[in-house]
Structures are given as C-alpha cells and as structure tokens.
C-alpha cells in the first residue's frame, strides 16, 4: 500500500495533470520522489467508460521490462479522479532542444533514434502501438541527458493492433477521429486510417528530421488540413536535402512505404543509424560529445505541437461546468473515454491492481481542487 503527498504542478495536458510528489510504501521504506498523474474520473460510470489513466497504467505494467519505459509504482481511484504514481523524470526532448543553451550532436540524434527504435520494437512486440509519438512524449532522466537514457512516455492513446479475441492483426478501418498531434502523425493518421506499427515509426522519422532541421518543419503548426497538404508533398529526400545524412530521409520514405500489417525492419534501421555515427556511436546520449555537426533549435522557432492536446475530433464523456463535480472553475477538467476497441486487455483494471501497489489513502495535497459543496473525496 502506498501513501502519497503531492504539491507542484509539473505538466498540464489535454487529458490530465502531472504533479511532483513523495511516496512511501511502508513505515520502514525510505520516501521516493515520484511524478503523480491525475485524470478526471466518474465513479459508477465504468460500464460506459474506458478511462485513459487506467489504460495508460495497464500499458506501463505490460511494458515494464524495457529500460526506456518509465517505472510505475502505484494506482488508485476516488469518485472524482484516477491517480498513477510513476518514475520522476526530467525534461522532455522538446523542452531540452528548445533551450537556447542546449545542442545535440549527430551522434546524440543517432542515439535517440536507436533507443526509440529499440523501445518501439518492444512495444510493438507486445501487440501495442503508441499512437502519439512526439518530442514532448520523449523524456530524459531526472538527472538530464547525462544519464544517457531517453524514455517513451504518455501511453494514454495507445491501443492494441492485435484483436484480443482472434490473436490476429486488426483490419484497416476508418477511425472516427485522428490520434495524436497533427504535426507528428503519419499521413495515414491524417486520413483517419487505423494506426499500426508503421505509423509510430513515421512519427519518429518526423521527430528526428525536426531535430536535424533545428526544430523547423515545412508544415509548421497549422490546421490539420494544411499540415497534411504540405506534409504529403514532402518526401524524406526533400526534407533532408543534401545538408543532412540521407539515412534520415530514407527512413521516412521507408516508413511511408510499409504495408498496414507489415513488420518493420527495426534491426536494419538501428544498424543503418549506428553506421552514420561511425566509431563515435554509443547507445546512450552523451551530452559531453563535442564531435560535430551540431544541431540547435532556431531562436524564432514556433512551438510545434508542444502543448496542444492530442484530441482532434475527440468528444469528452462529460464537459461543461454545469455537469462538473468537483466544480471549482479554475480546476475544470473534462472526463475522457476510450473506445472498448482500444483496450489492451479485457480487464485492464485487473492488470493494473495486480501489477502495482495500491494507494492507501487519497493522495494528500495543499492544492485546493475540490469544491467545498462536494462530498469528501474517498478511494473506491
């Protein structure tokens, strides 16, 4: 059983908020610094809801054996919120690259490519596609790039590409809405096609090219239709031109050529990227690397898809303050639900509660977010 106190807001996204916190598993164990994710929940509506945070917790439990997946410690739900205690991490790749003092070498970019290909291969091997690959969903350790590892985070929109009832690849169908930010999603994602392994890799290709180009992509951060129009006209070779190693453009063109059910050649591309770095290649990011070329974010670069919710076309289960409990205006948060088709297991809650510790109490905070007229928050 876990006891948690939290205070400072670390991040706010389209579906939830993340706070810094301290966790104790028992009286004898030392306290642990954690990140606490909190997402709106409605008790008693489970038959109609497939909660995002429970879904993400299930994914992290299923993927916990890979070193580039953040550790998950505890889970619990009240009548208002679901809570997930996770490994505390540092800056996102987006934040790090936009810092004017920071720069990445070619070897660093190759290391990021290698680590992300490795973790995506593992994620895909477990029948899961991430569906929201972006530089904001890649994070360095709490000690920064010096630890050398970059983590893949935010599995709230992930889904199984394997049909749980048949064990076969799901058919390619038209989705009701896109998944992920328009800046980073694949061309098939723009066209509302069912996401598969190829789409995660295409999004990764855009992230790598974004790093090479100093944080600038031709389609910018506009409306989805405009982004798609420009993106579809840009081949990998055109995006990389002659200024950058052609392997990055070749990787994008390869991802776009993959068939819906085709298994990507992860090992081949890890080898291809490692060859670019030559003898200077290391799997881990090395911030002390001084061998150019160097890649730095352009000073005037707009924040491409950094803080926008990945919710194009999504409808909240509940919205509007008149339907909201708790109802403090400044902390209004909608309740979001996935489709049953998105679930990784038939009983995701069972996977979670058997895979991590349970909360002993509602996480305590000095932050007031529940209106005084509401019943006291209690764990379910």
More confident residue, 362 or 309: 362
pTM of the model: 0.90
- 49-58, 201-210, 227-236: segment of lowest average pLDDT: 49-58
Catalytic pick from 118, 132, 199, 311? Answer: 132
- Annotated active-site residue 132? The verdict is yes
C-alpha span between 133 and 203 (Å, rounded): 6
More confident residue, 146 or 303: 146
Sequential DSSP letters for 17-79: EEEEEEEESSSSSPPEEEEEEEEE--TT-TTT--BHHHHHHHHHHHTTTSTTS--EEEEEEBS
Q: What pLDDT is attached to residue 323?
A: 41
Q: What is the mean pLDDT of the segment spanning 248-264?
A: 97
Q: What is the mean pLDDT of the segment spanning 165-171?
A: 91
What is the set of domains in the chain, with CATH numbers? 3-87+315-365 (3.30.200.20), 91-295 (1.10.510.10)
- DSSP 8-state secondary structure symbol assigned to residue 362: P
Q: What is the mean pLDDT of the segment spanning 275-295?
A: 83
Beta-sheet pairing, 294-295 with 138-141: unpaired
Q: What is the mean pLDDT of the segment spanning 289-314?
A: 58
Mean of the per-residue pLDDT values of the chain: 86
Tell me: pLDDT of 306 over 60.
Answer: no
Q: What band does 27 get if pLDDT is binned at 50, 70 and 90?
A: confident
Tell me: pLDDT of 311 over 50.
Answer: no
Q: What pLDDT is attached to residue 307?
A: 43
Q: What band does 220 get if pLDDT is binned at 50, 70 and 90?
A: confident
Six token digits for residue 324: 């909201």
Residue 373 CB-density burial (10 A; 0-12 exposed, 13-18 middle, 19+ buried): exposed
Q: What pLDDT is attached to residue 332?
A: 56
Question: 25 pairs with which residues across the strands?
Answer: none
Q: pLDDT above 90 covers what percent of the chain?
A: 56
Q: What band does 322 get if pLDDT is binned at 50, 70 and 90?
A: very low
More confident residue, 314 or 75: 75
Sign of CA dihedral 135, 138, 143, 146: negative
Q: Pick the closest to residue 191 from 224, 239, 230, 236 (CA basis).
A: 224
User: What is the CA angle 329-331-336, rounded to 5?
Assistant: 110
Q: What is the mean pLDDT of the segment spanning 119-135?
A: 97
- 94-103, 161-170, 203-212: segment of lowest average pLDDT: 94-103
Question: Is-contact 172 206, C-beta < 8 A?
Answer: no
Tell me: pLDDT of 20 over 80.
Answer: yes
């Amino acid at each position: 059983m876990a006891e948690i106190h939290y205070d400072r807001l670390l991040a706010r996204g389209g579906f939830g908020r993340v706070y810094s916190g301290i966790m104790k598993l028992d009286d004898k164990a030392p306290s642990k610094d954690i990140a606490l994710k909190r997402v709106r929940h409605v008790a008693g509506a489970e038959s109609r809801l497939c909660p995002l945070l429970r879904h993400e917790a299930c994914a992290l439990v299923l993927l916990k054996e890979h070193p580039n997946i953040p550790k998950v410690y505890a889970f619990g739900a009240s009548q208002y919120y679901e809570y997930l205690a996770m490994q505390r991490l540092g800056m996102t790749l987006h934040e790090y690259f936009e810092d004017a003092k920071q720069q990445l070498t070619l070897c660093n970019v190759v290391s990021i490519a290698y680590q992300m290909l490795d973790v995506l291969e593992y994620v895909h091997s477990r029948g899961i596609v991430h569906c929201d690959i972006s530089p904001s969903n890649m994070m360095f350790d709490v000690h920064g790039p010096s630890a050398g590892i970059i983590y893949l985070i935010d599995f709230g929109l992930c889904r199984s590409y394997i049909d749980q009832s048949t064990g076969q690849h799901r058919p390619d169908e038209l989705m009701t809405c896109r998944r992920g930010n328009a800046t980073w999603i694949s061309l098939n994602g723009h066209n509302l096609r069912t996401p598969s392994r190829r789409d995660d890799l295409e999004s990764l290709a855009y992230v790598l090219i974004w790093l090479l180009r100093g944080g600038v992509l031709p389609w910018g951060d506009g409306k989805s239709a405009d982004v798609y129009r420009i993106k579809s006209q840009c081949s990998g070779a055109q995006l990389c031109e002659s200024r950058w190693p052609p392997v990055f453009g070749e990787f994008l063109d390869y991802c776009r050529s993959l068939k819906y059910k085709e298994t990507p050649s992860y090992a081949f591309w890890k080898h291809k990227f490692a060859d670019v770095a030559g003898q200077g290649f290391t799997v881990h990011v090395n911030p002390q690397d001084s061998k150019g070329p160097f890649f730095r974010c352009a000073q005037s670069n707009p924040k491409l898809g950094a803080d926008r919710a990945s919710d194009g076309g999504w409808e909240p289960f509940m919205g509007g303050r008149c339907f909201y409990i708790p109802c403090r205006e400044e902390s209004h948060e909608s309740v979001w639900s996935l489709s049953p088709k998105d679930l990784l297991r038939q009983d995701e809650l069972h996977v979670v509660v058997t895979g991590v510790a349970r909360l002993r109490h509602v996480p305590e905070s000095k932050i007031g977010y529940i209106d005084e007229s509401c019943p006291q928050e209690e764990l379910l």
